[in-house]
Amino acid sequence: MALWPKASTARPGGGHGRTPWRAAGVALVALSALSGVGVVGASFHETPQPPQPAVEAAAGFVPTQAPSANPFEHAHLARSEPASISIKRINLRAKIINLGIKSDGTLEVPPLNKAELAGWYSRGPSPGEIGNAVVVGHVTTAKATAVFFKLGLLRPKDAITITRKDGSTAKFTVDGVRSYAKKAFPTDLVYGPSAKPSLRLVTCGGDFNSRIHSYEDNVIVFATAAVP
């Protein structure tokens, strides 16, 4: 029996297309790979517990799909693939690769042997376009921390810069950071429409379940294009 629907065939670039899954919550199936669950026999006891979002990072912040009162208050960019991401607070600079949809309908993830890379969902908006651009990354591997290990340390108003392949940069400001149980993954808030250029960074977090070799939560950073 299939555990997930087919992937969306919506055209890339628009913030108002269908999500890559037709039912809310099934994104956790795809994102479970970010926890390292695909590594047979791997032990994660050698890696430290990733930082969790602080209370103040979520306090007063309510993620919403509601459109802005003025959809054009944020300057937006034409479509261009992202090349790298940098976040000063956590001393992060990483290359970004393109990710698509696998034949089983789930989102591809960066290979575990290249866990220093982040991955952009290439069927959605690119960073700087109107809509939610989605970038995912591993939190740990079997023996080391990975690209988004410190994501939970981000705070509201932190800056995120994405360099694009056309030479431009898309700058974002963190609105909030939240942790969600994987069974309650907020699919619409991550992949749904937005009236302004927005960014979603996604990794794993919470407690590590050694029985299934998977973290129990997803940590999500919500960010909006910085206003000049």
Q: Per-residue confidence at 29, pLDDT binned at 50, 70, 90?
A: very low
Show the tokens assigned to 62: 């309510």
In a domain, 111, yes or no: yes
- 30: which residues sit within 8 A by CB, 6+ positions away? 4, 21, 106, 107, 109
43 lies in a domain? no
Q: Is residue 38 part of a domain?
A: no
Q: What domain range includes position 99?
A: 51-57+76-225
Of the candidates 36, 11, 2, the residue with the CA atom closest to the CA atom of residue 105: 2
Domains: count for the chain: 1
Residue 117 in any domain: the answer is yes
For residue 148, is pLDDT > 90? yes
Residues 218 and 164: beta-carbon distance below 8 Å: no
Return the pLDDT at 75: 74
Cα angle 194, 196, 200; round to 5? 65
Alpha-carbon span 103 to 11, nearest angstrom: 18
CATH of the domain at 217: 2.40.260.10
Quote the mean pLDDT of the chain: 78
Higher pLDDT, 53 or 74: 53
Instruction: Evaluate whether 177 touches 152 at the Cβ level (below 8 Å).
Output: yes
Tally Cβ neighbours within 10 Å of residue 192: 17
Q: Is residue 99 part of a domain?
A: yes
Give a yes or no: residue 45 inside a domain.
no
CA dist 32 and 28 (Å) reads 6
pLDDT digits (tens, 9 = 90+) for 81-90: 999 999 999 9
The average pLDDT across 124-151 equals: 94
CA neighbours within 13 Å on the CB side: how many for 39?
18
Is 210 contained in some domain?
A: yes
Is residue 188 in some structural domain? yes
Q: Name the more confident of 71 and 135.
A: 135
**Is the model's pLDDT at 30 over the cut of 60?**
no
**How many other β-carbons are positioned within 10 Å of the β-carbon of residue 83?**
16
